[in-house]
Chains A and B, each alone.
Chain A
């Protein structure tokens, strides 16, 4: 019964992974399909000596750290609030997931439209409130472009944390809180000694999943800035994709994809190893 699922996974996941490894060791260029000489690790040395690689890696770090921590902070706050009781809690819980259901392309379009220099509503609001002295070309200048795409991914991803952490909160038995109150624990004490330990597992899983997802995602940036201006928002997966897709250099792009995978694997293994230790 497992056979069909395994066969599909083998053909569409395992085979491509091996193929990427193979391509990364060969000089594969799309417009020259017949000649694919073996070149050893040359694709890797080229990648690692290219300053663009290190720039992309730096961008990826900023992207992952900022996006995941902001998503988590906002999502956790939302989950704690939505776990309290108030009249319209049901509808609030339902509506908070809306950004999560939208395609990346549309999220990219919405935020590009709102951050537009001439017609963007955020510039207009900022100027009216006196926060901005003049319109800012958010996505068109290198100093603010990364901030712009991060806002968009935070918007897309925070409902994931809100929903999963809320489910985790609901699984904590209410008697624990009552017992702690009787023992004289204040709100902060209850949070530290009951909520946080009770959620630790869910938080760890959610953070890991989200980190992998954000580190790999490139469609939102591709739609909003294409990695630009210059290479200001080019993350590692985007660098790999553009090298292969627009540049036609599949060997080089594959080497970059392998490097990204190794990096992620390293992070995941350390993460699992450290959470086991604790």
Chain B
């Protein structure tokens, strides 16, 4: 009896919500393996009769998609490196030093989150154009690293808070400088958190579209922009699009599943401590 109530009251509703969460994603992957004949036949059959790799092969052979993947990889890795270099010292300072205006500054970094993206990207486009940085890796890396900075600092601060300050002090008594204490004592201990934040930075940059659309052109084109451009070319080739979507979604999904527990822990940990 108890089993039955659990099945009806808990497990079935969870299954329904999971179906809502996963079926669209599964449908995309399934569509990417079906031949054009099935994809252009209306009404569409719910179950595939034939599976093929043709769309994936065409995508990698006949389009520039492999270069787009490279560009996205370079930009996202760059954003992780730059974002970390900026966020880690800031988080360390927020956690270890009590200085005037600390609370104001912390809130200010959160306020950044509130500005509409449109408010930032229009002048940034003009700025990058005037500096001749349009269509370069740097423009995109700098933008992505900065937009994600508030959340990265917020999370990292809560991880660094979890490491006793006595450890830094002990290291400094032994002759280490502040920077050495941060890099050699705190950083290794905070590594799990740092990795989670790094993954967050990577996914956000990898997934970003609007800024990439404005800042890039012929030389640098990330996957999200490239995918959207496939639509423009005469008739929509759904097979190709779905293959691209499947390939792009894979790394982000895997990384996210890997890091989610720590990210959520940091998120709520930071929220509780304020």
Q: Which residues of A contact B (CB under 8 A)?
A: 1-2, 4-6, 8-9, 12-13, 15-17, 19-20, 23, 74, 77-78, 81-82, 84, 86, 92, 94-106, 109-111, 113-114, 118-121, 123-125, 127, 135, 155, 158-159, 163-164, 167-168, 171, 201-202, 205, 209, 212, 215-219, 222-223, 237, 240-241, 244-245, 250, 253-254, 256-258, 260-261, 264-265, 268
Contact = CB atoms under 8 A, between A and B. Distances in A.
Interface in B13-61: 13-14, 17-18, 20-22, 24-25, 27-28, 31, 39-40, 42-44, 46
Nearest to A237: B118
B119 A101 contact: no
9 pairs of A and B residues whose beta carbons are closest in the complex: A19-B123, A103-B207, A101-B256, A5-B90, A1-B89, A12-B146, A16-B123, A1-B93, A118-B42
B253 interface: yes
A226 B85 CA distance: 37
Interface of B: 6, 10-11, 13-14, 17-18, 20-22, 24-25, 27-28, 31, 39-40, 42-44, 46, 85-87, 89-90, 92-94, 105, 109, 112-124, 126-127, 142-143, 145-147, 149, 153, 203, 206-210, 214, 224-225, 227-228, 231, 238, 241-242, 245, 248-249, 252-253, 255-257, 260, 264-265, 267-268, 271-272
A253 B123 CA distance: 11
B197 to A, nearest CB: 14
Contacts of A8: 86, 142, 145-146, 149
Contacts of A6: 90, 105
B25 A103 contact: no
A209 B128 CA distance: 29
Q: Is the interface of B mostly helix, strand, loop or mixed?
A: helix
Contacts of A209: 113
B44 A121 contact: yes
B112 A9 contact: yes
Contact of B25 (A5, A74, A110, A253): A110
Contacts of A100: 256
